[in-house]
Structure 1
Amino acid sequence: MKPVAVARFLILVAAAALIIVSMRYPMWYMYLDSNNFPNGIGMSVWATHPGDPEDIAQLDGGLKEVNVLNHFIGMKEISKETMLIFTVLPVVLVIAAIACVAAALFRRKWTSLAVVILFAAISVGGVIVLVYSLYSFGHHLDPTAAIKIDPFMPGIYGEHQLAQFTTYSNFYWGTYLLVIAFLLILAAWVIDIISFRREREGLTAPPGE
């Protein structure tokens, strides 16, 4: 096997491994600070479920406390049972990992491109679902809730002010590993483009060249 083919194989297998490993880490997290919670409360979101942030021992509370606050303002509960994405996303990511391995084993003109398209679609879909979920949580409030607030859009990234709370949200290693995996998949696609172009040029070159 040529060195370029070996590199392509290893790149795609590494991408598949990163996709699987990414599910062990949070993809996104959010903290809320206020006078009532001087150490803050927070939550993290994995591909498979929502839960407490990794530094929960240093905080005043985690997902349970976030859901208690959500209940008072009429926001629906954040849980694996109430959000279909936590059932769908793990399956989709496993399919993407399998597609990477399949592309590594079967070198065809379309295999790496197919994985690029698949992963790009998953990425765009994931962002759309995240934005829609946050919008839905902040705008579909129970009108009979104990505390009335105006509909709002929770922050996806950075620091924001929500009533008496300061919120801070950011992406984490679950997302970063997927970004790295996508870059590796793109690299494999570029390798294929260059390799197949050189092969075609070699086949069409005049005899003796």
Structure 2
Amino acid sequence: MNVVTTPTAAPETARAPWTRGAWLLQPPVRVGFALLVAGLFAASYTQPLWVTRFRAPQYPQGLSLQVYLDRVTGDIQEVDILNHYVGMRPIEQMATFERSIAIFALAVVCGLGVWAASFRRIHWQILLVLPLVLFPLGMLLDLFAWLWYSGHALDPTSPMGMTVKPFTPKLIGSQKVANFEVTSGLGLGTYLQIAGAALLAGAAFVGWKISKGPADGAPR
């Protein structure tokens, strides 16, 4: 007796995670994502990166400063008068070089981020988006350096030069300076940059994982 066997179909192999996510490497997706991140960084220009507030009995309404990428707004004249008594430099004399190139630097790193989307190789993409990812960190480090300098390069001949000791204004948090309570924190512009950098870093990591997938169907 002849036994007829029916060929069974080979079980369908589940697609690997890197194959399922391969659509993320398609040019339209990469370009759209790059434009989204660049838009977040561009929007950060319109918002303060750092905000500080001063409260004292003689200023019941308080004083405030808003630091943008290329300018400082707020109660500059009043704060400069206070800085003079403490021995700190006028606000407009600080970070003049950084503010003069800020718009150009932001445009360059955003342009590199969008340009990265035109490259298929993940290594070129990571290299070109790295300046954009590191931009918020560099900005915060520069701001901290100027805060440290402003509180340590005090004029000893100022009216309060003998009573106020060198200090570092806080990047985030509150502190007592003379009879002022000073509270500082990051502004919306910095959070927009951090969000863009985090999205970009996450996308670069996902793209790198996809590119490391096996050769059978995974783009490289």
Report the TM-score when normalising by structure 1.
Answer: 0.84
The letter for the 1-side match of 2:144 is V
The answer for the alignment partner of 1:195 in structure 2 is 210
The answer for the alignment partner of 2:4 in structure 1 is none
Deviation at 1:152, TM superposition (A): 1.1
Does residue 146 in structure 1 map to residue 168 in structure 2?
no
Residue by residue, what CA displacement relative to the aligned partner does 1:152-206 show, whole Å, maximum 9, x if unpaired?
A: 11111111111100010010111011011102211321232133223x52269xx
Does residue 131 in structure 1 map to residue 144 in structure 2?
yes
Instruction: State the distance in 1 between where 2:120 and 2:142 align.
Output: 33
SS of the counterpart of 2:189?
Answer: helix
The letter for the 2-side match of 1:154 is P
The answer for the alignment partner of 1:23 in structure 2 is 45
Instruction: State the distance in 2 between where 1:136 and 1:81 align.
Output: 9
Correspondent of 2:34 among 12, 15, 38: 12
Deviation at 1:117, TM superposition (A): 2.5
The answer for the alignment partner of 1:56 in structure 2 is none
Gaps of 5+ in 1: 53-61, 205-209
The letter for the 1-side match of 2:198 is L
Aligned residue runs from structure 1 range 84-123, under 5 A: 84-123=97-136
Instruction: State the distance in 1 between where 2:82 and 2:197 align.
Output: 37
Residue by residue, what CA displacement relative to the aligned partner does 1:122-160 show, whole Å, maximum 9, x if unpaired?
A: 333222211110011011011221222111111111111
The percent identity for this pair of structures is 24
> Is this contact kept in 1: 2:116–2:128, CA < 8 A?
yes
SS of the counterpart of 1:84?
Answer: helix
Instruction: State the distance in 2 between where 1:140 and 1:83 align.
Output: 17
The letter for the 1-side match of 2:205 is V
- Root-mean-square deviation (CA, aligned residues, Å) is 2.1
Bigger Rg, which one: 2
The answer for the alignment partner of 1:79 in structure 2 is 92
Instruction: State the distance in 2 between where 1:140 and 1:104 align.
Output: 45
Aligned residue runs from structure 1 range 27-46, under 5 A: 27-46=49-68
SS of the counterpart of 2:55?
Answer: strand
User: Where does structure 1 differ by over 4 angstroms across 4 or more consecutive aligned residues?
Assistant: none
The answer for the alignment partner of 1:162 in structure 2 is 177
